[in-house]
Structure 1
């Protein structure tokens, strides 16, 4: 989806499928044959969140399965190999369940990006959020009051 910029608007930064401009934050998401565009004015941004989501119980279950495999080694090697295979599968599932989640919220609307695995750079996501916060503070609801106070104080 190509998005036309407003008069005087310019792109500040882009991270994954989120674009920050001088006026808005927008996300162009594609899933199969459908596409969605979410746009939030920078002044309306109320909060940002960056976190990791994972399923640690998969790792614990893999450890228990591996211990059971070691215990079964004395009785039957076929069972041991099967349990080690299950433990490896559980570790693989744990690795693919790790997600970096970035959210930008305005009222009831949110922009959410989930990046699977370790391919996501946390530093790049944090830098993008700093830029969103900086823009939000510059264009926030009390930006006019701050600029008016500094002009009257001069």
Structure 2
């Protein structure tokens, strides 16, 4: 199967496909902070809609929302000033959710992750192939396009 045929097939099932795959955060430079499902089964924009509305940039990378300080990642989502107590509470929940998550300090790239695989050497190889294919075929851009339109999000907000 040619890569163009593969992409056509993938486009036809994109909502199902992107509902299953998740982002594996490497350095956080290409994953979308608000739209990709990198920290849980839902995007941060669907989990914390008030914080999302306050974001200065809705299309920002994961790594742009914090910094490394003394070998420790400090989250600092860029939001507008002058917020209400309810909005502040949503931001505190967001920060609590992110407390034990951070992009890697290495140069590893962000990529797609296939969570339906069990653990084992064969599955690890398959997951590596899927991530490599996602890089080679430009699926990150397709996924960002899909997640930014809200397709595949399972939010009860």
TM-score norm. by structure 1 comes to: 0.26
More strand by share: 1
Q: Which has the higher contact order (CA 8 A, sep 6+)?
A: 2
Task: Tell which structure's C-alpha radius of gyration is larger.
Answer: 1
